[in-house]
Amino acid sequence: MTIRILLVDDQDLMRLGLAMVLGDVPDFSVVGEAADGESGVARAGELNPDVVLMDVRMPGVDGIEATRRIVADHPETRVIVLTTFDLDEYAFSGLNAGASGFLVKDAPADQLIAAVRAVHAGDAAVSPRVTKRMLELYGGSLPEQGATASDELASLSERERDVLVLVGEGLTNTEIAARLYLAESTVKTHVGRLLAKLELRDRIGAVILAHRSGLV
């Protein structure tokens, strides 16, 4: 299965570098590029990519607003926001806007490739350190993620609750499977069920909820 990728960045050299790295991966396909947020939203509508790599700092419509529009119009598309620093407060807003991942621009090629694969598979490409800092900065102002924790956590099975705790700790499905001695496919099923029960779009919402509810 080919993962279709859209690159949105106002720096030509940045887009070129990303295209060169991603173009060498057999199951990746860079289907388009855009130099600003407005064009990125339009290209996402035209191309229906699986993953968008989105710069946050662009003239006109920035990456935050572009991410919000893409996620709203194309819920199946996953967005990874790109920034200069891993604790960039501006980039955290991208996660709040619905991005599924967070990556520094100078990340090694293997991290970039792993992040694309992770968000495409339904994981979150955000380290626990970044998650903790995001919650410190925005914990009081982040919108509610689906139904309230007090009402909905009770609907989870014991195993789903265990999985939610590990998702909150930043573990991938593979890592959760190893920790709980389960098949990775079983973990994926549990994650899908808990997201549905908690009315969450993706793992970012689950991470936030796990921290807010005191599970992590």
pLDDT tens per residue across span 41-93: 999 999 999 999 999 889 899 999 999 999 999 989 999 998 887 666 776 77
**What's the DSSP call for residue 67?**
H
Angle between helices 12-23 and 109-120 (to 10 degrees): 80
Burial class (CB in 10 A: 0-12, 13-18, 19+), 57: middle
Distance CA 28, CA 113 (A): 9
> What stretches of 75-157 show up as alpha helix (H) in DSSP?
89-96, 109-120, 128-138, 149-152
Residue 147 has pLDDT above 50, yes or no: no
CA atoms within 13 A on the CB side of 82: 23
Torsion on CA atoms 76, 134, 149, 153, rounded to nearest 10? 70
For the CA atoms of 178, 110, 58, 208, the dihedral, rounded to the nearest 10 degrees, stands at 10
Band (pLDDT 50/70/90 cuts) for residue 143 is very low
Residue-wise pLDDT tens digits, 24-37: 999 999 999 999 99
**pLDDT > 90 fraction of the chain, expressed in percent and rounded:** 48
List the beta bridge partners of residue 102.
Answer: 81
pLDDT at 7: 97
Taken in order 70, 72, 78, 84, is the CA torsion positive or negative? Answer: positive
pLDDT tens digit string along 2-25? 999 999 999 999 999 999 999 999
- pTM summary value: 0.75
Strand order in the sheet with 51-55: 28-34, 3-8, 51-55, 78-83, 101-104
Residue 63 amino acid letter:
G
Q: What is the mean pLDDT of the chain?
A: 85
pLDDT at 134: 64
Query: Following CA atoms 89, 93, 99, 101 in sequence, which dihedral angle do they give, to the nearest 10 degrees?
Result: 10
Q: Domains in the chain, start-ordered, CATH in brackets?
A: 3-137 (3.40.50.2300), 146-212 (1.10.10.10)
